[in-house]
Structure formats: C-alpha cells, structure tokens
Amino acid sequence: MGGSERAYSMTNRSMAVATTQESILRAAVELATEKLTVEIVLADIAGRAGVTVQTILRHFATSGVGIACSTLP
C-alpha cells in the first residue's frame, strides 16, 4: 500500500481503562463508608461500578482492589 504508515495510538483505549479503574475504585471506597470492609464482596463493588466481577479481576488481578483503594487520596 502507500509508503507512509499511520501511527497507532491507544489513547482512547487507555482513557477507557483508566475510567473503568476509577469507577471500580470509587465504588469500593463508597461501599467502605457504608459497610465494614469484611462485608464487602466483589459483586457489591461490581454492581456499584456498573461492571462485572470479571472486569474487576482483570483490572486488579495482582494488586487487589483493597490495595488499589489504599492509594486513593
């Protein structure tokens, strides 16, 4: 095809990932103000964030939502 290559940027995808992660973390923090943390299950966080439990696991498989929440201001 033509001699010039189009640069590929995942800016939109990166923004969507960040938005999803923020939504999950925000939901976890909100729930932590309403319940004891031992009472919160991933399904609660997923429902509040508007995602599935699988989405939470994909985004926070190694760090866990609890650890990620501790980084919020």
Helix (H) or strand (E) segment spanning residue 51? none
**More confident of the two residues 4 and 66:** 4
- Confidence at 32, pLDDT banded by 50, 70, 90: very high
Residue 26's pLDDT is: 95
What is the mean predicted confidence (pLDDT) over 23-47? 93
Q: For residue 53, give Cα distances in angstroms to 4, 15, 45, 47.
A: 43, 20, 8, 8
- Confidence at 69, pLDDT banded by 50, 70, 90: low
**More confident of the two residues 17 and 70:** 17
pLDDT of 6 higher than 80: no
Residue 3's pLDDT is: 59
Query: The tokens of 64 are what?
Result: 């866990």
